Amino acid sequence: MQAATAKWYDRRDLVFIEFCVEDSRDVEVKFEKSKLDFSCVGGVDTIKYHNEVGLFEAIDPNDSKHKRTDRSVFCCLRKAEPGKSWPRLTKDKTKCNWLSVDFNNWKDWEDDSDEELSSYDRFSEMMNNMGGEDDLPDMDGADDEESPDSDDEKMPDLE
């Protein structure tokens, strides 16, 4: 048996882990209060995978779920204490070579506030309402060659 490659990310009430095993079968996921146990057989080589993860904080095992797809097994862990950030997935500080952060889905939600989000939404709406190059305002003869340029005057001699 070997450990399956996995990536994870944190949200306010949930922690997500994706075990990257293609064509998995015989998938077993056991959620415990402070541990996750994952096993399956995967790929055309029928490799047996097993990951035992001592979790950073407690979860609600009854409200945690998993879903198998053709490319991976996606686990959704309900935090026992919602709103508490997890700086890492595992209880131990040691680096697991099979585990990485899913930066495509990572979000620093601790710094978010409703006010900041609404400001962002207003900014996005303003950017979407702005026109393209054809909508640029007239620059009052900026392209006219006859108009004298203010920096075309002769410079005084240096003393």
Per-residue pLDDT reduced to its tens digit, 136-157: 445 455 455 555 566 667 777 7
Evaluate whether residue 105 is within a structural domain: no
Q: Any idea what DSSP says for residue 79? A: B
How many distinct structural domains can be found in the chain?
1
pLDDT digits (tens, 9 = 90+) for 94-136: 899 999 999 888 777 655 544 444 444 554 455 455 444 444 4
Strands (E), the chain: 6-10, 14-19, 25-32, 35-42, 47-54, 65-68, 73-78, 99-101
The amino acid sitting at 76 is C
* Residue 141 forms part of a structural domain: no
Residue 49 in domain: yes
CA atoms in the 13 A half-sphere facing the CB of 112: 13
Report residue 16's pLDDT band, with 50, 70 and 90 as the boundaries.
very high
Q: Are 7 and 101 in contact (CB under 8 A)?
A: yes
Mean predicted lDDT score pLDDT of the chain: 80
What number of CA atoms fall less than 13 Å from residue 113's CA on the CB side?
3
Global pTM reads 0.66
Domain assignment present for 19: yes
What's the CATH number where 73 sits? 2.60.40.790
Q: Greater confidence, 6 or 158?
A: 6
Residue ranges making up the domain that contains 29: 1-84
- Does residue 151 belong to any structural domain of this protein? no
- Residue 156 inside a domain? The answer is no
Q: What is the pLDDT of residue 150?
A: 60
- Span between the terminal Cα atoms of the chain, in Å: 86
Neighbours of 9 (CB within 10 A): 18
Give the percent of the chain with pLDDT over 70. 71
> Does any domain span residue 107?
no
Is 46 among the domain residues?
yes
Residue 15 has pLDDT above 90, yes or no: yes
